[in-house]
Structure 1
Amino acid sequence: MGPLTPIIQETDDGGWRVRNAEGAITLTNTTEPGAIRYYYVNADAAEEGRREVAVDVTLLHSEAGSQAGLLYGFQENPKSYFLFTVRGDGMASLHAMDSSGFHEKTAFSLSTSVTETVTLGIVERGNEIVLLVNGEEKASLGNDRLGRGAVGIVAGHLGSYRFDNFAIQPVRSAAGQAVHARPDTPINELANKGLQASQATNNNRTGQPAPIKYFVTMDAKTGMPSSRIPLPADWTQLSNNREFTYEGPNNIRVSATSGATFQFTNNPDMAQMFQMQGTSNQPPMSIEAITQRFFMPIAQQTGRTLTRTYELPQLARKSLSDSSQYYSAMPQQLDAKSYALEWTDKQGISYVSVVNINIAYSQPSSYWILMSQYLEAPHEHFPAARDALINGLINAQTNPQWLALRNQQDRQRSEVSSRQHAARMNSLRAAGNAAANTGRIYSEISDINHQGYMNRDQMNSAGHQRTVNAIGERTVIANPETGERYNVQSGSNQYWVNQNDRYLGSDNPNYDPRLDPSMNQQEWIEYEEVQ
């Protein structure tokens, strides 16, 4: 048992029987359901962030709640740790324990019986870890709590568990380690409404430098580049494609970004207003809930199997930084989380769904935005393509000139909206609350492109669009003359859009904002629902 050998002594206490047989340790609990026993060795500070920890585990006797495996990242004060264990129900899982409680981070089925010996491993890459089962990479996770802390073994609940070959060793430099490059080429051509395709390098999973270039996204309305992203130079940016925005050699394809916005509140008056308007009061959801409720139905329809779920902490930090740069009419507290969901199908294709969750807490109501983009590639080309996309998203750059113009426009729209809302309320009061006769109209005209997340150029991902629309109870509307499309809150019979890219919904077929004295100073076009 390596460094744990002098620590673990044969004993009978606390419901646990501990025995040492030829260097292997057996822990048995027959009387204390839910009891946990663990042993650990403190970390060498010089090795933290680059350790490889492994142990052989056999569940000699177990039941559904039994588990045994690795204790990782143990901190005494305040107490926190991770458990990477084999379970009696035939699963392997990673749980986290901290001041907020005990949480499952990821779980997956074992390909062998739990009565057979399973080798569990954790490999550190800075503040990220990779989970291994019998030498096969199963999942990865990253956050600020990882890459440090004591490590050891753990067993829980009723059962008998055998541990052998516990080891800690420094991670060797290997070509298999993904490295995120950080291109630092400045955006200095943006004022001229164009970005040059700068050459840089991206370290892929072969360890060899692969050339990349910056692909530019243009804002059709302003004629300015809004952002650029570094991707492999042999990839191609697609136009006029409803589902995919990039493709590469070997049938690599990347979808457009799609998204949905949700409102939530703890204010009773605002909650009542939500109910009256037919607006869902949906607090932020965990990635597990999002996956099960919204991604799994599509996966079942398409024959895809979820293989891994893990956090993307670098992307979350970038997303939080980006969202803080957009104009907001109200004080907000922002948060962001990013995840990767990996899938496979029976046709030899692997997929990764990159999911971003941006939350804005405010009063009296808050909102959160779910964005999703996916990549597909044949199994043998998937790891390098996946890493290239994630690296590109982490290092994507926003045009500061475009952002400044966008914020200026949003500020002006907010001021106009406030004045129009006041005029509308005065008109309704003067008419004896005539709103009851015009049918349900949203109390505020909603901003379709709120904070830039709902750009209409990013709404063409067919498969994922179906998923995120289900999440947000949203629909797509189109200009019957130009075909211009927007993603908006569903539930209305009529949708009207004005010249400032703002819309309202109504259930009254006789209502026409062009004839409304409080609205007819604007140009309104009735849009058709297409999804």
Structure 2
Amino acid sequence: MSGDNEGKSTQVRPEPNGRLVLHKLLDNQFMEMGRLPLPENWILNNGKAAMSGPGNVNVFMLPLKTFTFSNDPMMREVYRQSGAPMRPFYSMDQVVQEDLMPTARQEGSQLVRQYDAPGVAMADKGFSDLLYKVGPVRQLFLARVTEWARTSGKPYLVLIHLNATDMGNMVSWNYYCHTLDAPEERYEESKGFVLNALANVQYNPEYVRAYNQGEMAREQSSWAGHQQRMQANKAAFEAQQRTFHEKNDAINASIAATYAQNSATSDRIHHRSMNAIKEEETVRNTADGQRYQVQAGATRYWMNDSGQYVPSNDPNYDPNRDPRFNHQQWKKADIENP
């Protein structure tokens, strides 16, 4: 004989979310970058998840993707030859259709709705505005919420953070994503918590101040060293010029006249002196025979087809084998001593 409860399942109510508290947001060195307002029973950096809540709620971060675009025909040709075509940015709709939609189709997911998240975009811009920059820059910050449904009907969310920077002859743009994965009964409430937290993140002023001081110190040190080298070179050049004139006055008129007539020699002396003042070297690209001016200080130089160069003091270094530069072809440039 069966009991009255036979065949019935007991539904376990999910643990409720706690009150909102500020959670510390740490960087890779465990320094406090800022704080996020989330329920007290949520945690940050739980293994692979950036945020986790009770009842199998997880927020992940997708890697940053960076692109460039330029209207400069020469720069576009360099990228085309390197096999890394430029990609222009038009709108958030473009990113959704070209990047997110193909993956969703493969997984059998459907886009349910999408809408902008201006609060999140303002928070991203606010953090960027706090950071030290060498000069004024033109930047655009956008955030877009996309909500999807799997074939099972289970919802998930992808939040796109996008930043574009105008650099004059080139636009650099990038984006990264937060994704929310939660059971259907927890999805709506969790979505509200995540969007609110990312729109109201509080950045640690001491962390920002330390970063900015480090950046300013590095720039000032670089500039001060440059100024000192320029002053030393200028003094050495002036002393060299005085010695030259003293010797020139001492030699006889016939030798002086012959020297003055040798314009090629005069040009080479002038060019060498100007290189000393400017801390530059003259190199000749072995690929096309063209001469270029580069910053002095290295024993070897490599150049690409657009006139960009890589300095090195390592006789065994070859940027064609360097993964940072392997999307371009580099030719050795010989240092000239006019």
Instruction: Specify if TM > 0.5.
Output: yes
State the partner residue of 1:216. Answer: 24
1:347 to 138, 152, 166: 152
Query: Which residue does the alignment assign to 1:505?
Result: 325
1:305 aligns with 2:110: yes
Structure 2 distance, partners of 1:269, 1:439, is: 15
Structure 1 pair 280–323 and aligned structure 2 pair: CA distance change class (3 A): farther
1:322 aligns with 2:127: yes
Q: Contact 1:326–1:407 (CA<8 Å) still a contact in 2?
A: yes
Give the superposition deviation at 1:376: 0.8
Label 1:277 to 1:330 Cα distance change in 2 as closer, same or farther (>3 A). farther
The one-character-per-residue Cα deviations of 1:2-34 (angstroms, maximum 9, x if unpaired) are xxxxxxxxxxxxxxxxxxxxxxxxxxxxxxxxx
Aligned-pair CA distance for 1:276:
5.9
Alignment of 1:433 with 2:289, yes or no, is: no
Other structure's SS at 1:432 match:
strand
* Structure number with higher relative contact order (C-alpha < 8 Å, ≥ 6 residues apart): 2
- 1:405 match: 210
SS in structure 2 opposite 1:238? strand
SS, match of residue 41 in structure 2? coil
Residues 170-198 of structure 1 show CA distances to partners (whole Å, capped at 9, x for unaligned) of: xxxxxxxxxxxxxxxxxxxxxxxxxxxxx
- The alignment-based identity, stated in percent, is 23
Q: Which amino acid letter does the alignment assign opposite residue 391 of structure 1?
A: N
- What's the counterpart of residue 134 of structure 1? none
Asked if 1 retains the 8 angstrom alpha-carbon contact of 2:84 and 2:327, the reply is: no
5 Å-filtered alignment, 1:170-209, equals none
Taking a change above 3 Å as real, the CA distance of residues 508 and 351 of structure 1, as seen in their structure-2 partners, is closer
Which residue in 2 is equivalent to 1:245? 50
Residue 283 of structure 1 corresponds to 88
Q: After superposition, where does 1:58-207 map in structure 2 within 5 Å?
A: none
2:234 is the counterpart of 1:382: no
**Which secondary structure does the structure 2 equivalent of 1:292 belong to?**
helix
Describe the shift of the 1:273–1:373 C-alpha distance in structure 2 as closer, same or farther (beyond 3 A): same
Which among 61, 64, 81 is matched to residue 259 of structure 1?
64
Give CA deviations for 1:380-414 in whole Å, capped at 9, x if unaligned. Answer: 21000001000000011222222223234444566
- Alignment correspondent of 1:17: none
CA distance 1:435–1:356, change in 2 (3 Å): farther
- Aligned CA distance change for structure 1 residues 410 and 308 (closer, same or farther; 3 Å): same
Q: Which amino acid is the alignment partner of residue 251 of structure 1?
A: N
Partner of 2:32: 225
The structure with the largest alpha-carbon Rg is 2
More strand by share: 1
Distance of 1:444 and 1:289 partners within structure 2: 34
Where does residue 163 of structure 1 map in the other structure? none
Quick one: distance in 1 between partners of 2:83 and 2:281?
Answer: 23
Partners in 1 of 2:36 and 2:123 — Cα distance?
A: 13
Tell me the TM-score normalised to structure 1 length.
0.40
| Aligned residue identity for 1:494 | D
Taking the TM superposition and a 5 Å limit, the aligned residue runs for 1:475-494 are 494=322
Q: What's 1:234 paired with?
A: 41
Name the amino acid aligned to 1:229: L
Structure 1: which amino acid aligns with 2:203? T
Are 1:334 and 2:139 counterparts?
yes
Structure 2 residue ranges without an equivalent (≥5): 1-15, 227-274, 289-300, 311-319
Letter in 2 for 1:400: P
Equivalent residue, structure 1, for 2:291: none
Paired residues of 2:302 and 2:309 also in contact (CA < 8 A):
no
SS of alignment partner, residue 250 of structure 1: coil
- What is the deviation of 1:229? 1.1
Give me the whole-angstrom Cα distance separating, in 2, the residues matched to 1:435 and 1:401: 51
CA contact (8 A) 2:116 2:143 kept: yes
Structure number with the higher helix fraction is 2
**Could you tell me how far 1:262 is from its partner in structure 2?**
1.9
Query: Does structure 2 retain, via aligned residues, the 8 Å contact 1:343–1:352?
Result: yes
Per-residue CA deviations over 1:43-67 (Å, capped at 9, x if unaligned) read xxxxxxxxxxxxxxxxxxxxxxxxx
Q: 1:213 Cα deviation (Å)?
A: 2.3
Match of 1:473 in 2: none
How many Å separate the matches in 1 of 2:82 and 2:219?
21
Contact 1:356–1:371 (CA under 8 A) maintained in structure 2 = yes
Matched residue SS, 1:329 = coil
Where do 1:2-13 residues align within 5 Å?
none
Partner Cα distance (1:327, 1:507) in 2? 31
Distance change (3 Å), C-alpha of 1:510 and 1:329: closer
| Cα pair distance change 1:363/1:259, threshold 3 Å | same
Letter in 2 for 1:398: Y
Q: C-alpha displacement at 1:297, in angstroms? A: 1.9
1:445-456 alignment to 2 at 5 Å? Answer: none
CA RMSD of aligned residues (A): 4.0
Q: Which runs of 5+ in 1 are unaligned?
A: 1-207, 446-491, 496-503, 519-531
Q: CA deviation at 1:274?
A: 4.6
Counterpart mapping for 1:354-369 below 5 A? 354-369=159-174
Name the TM-score, length of structure 2 as normaliser: 0.60
CA separation of 1:382/1:329 partners in 2, compared to 1, >3 Å: closer, same or farther?
same
SS of the equivalent of 1:347 reads coil
**Matched residue SS, 1:295:** helix
2: CA distance between counterparts of 1:405 and 1:267?
38
Per-residue deviation at 1:265? Answer: 2.7
SS at match of 1:324: helix
**Which one-letter code corresponds to 1:236 in the other structure?**
I
1:256 counterpart SS class: strand
* TM-aligned CA deviation for residue 281 of structure 1: 3.0
| Number of residue equivalences | 246
How far off its partner does 1:375 sit? 0.5
SS in 2 for 1:375: strand
Report the Cα distance in structure 1 between the residues aligned to 2:218 and 2:73, rounded to whole angstroms. 28
CA deviation digits over 1:300-330, x for unaligned, max 9?
2222211011111222222222222223334
Residue 367 of structure 1: CA displacement?
1.6
Aligned CA distance change for structure 1 residues 213 and 361 (closer, same or farther; 3 Å)? same
Q: Distance in 1 between matches of 2:152 and 2:217?
A: 51
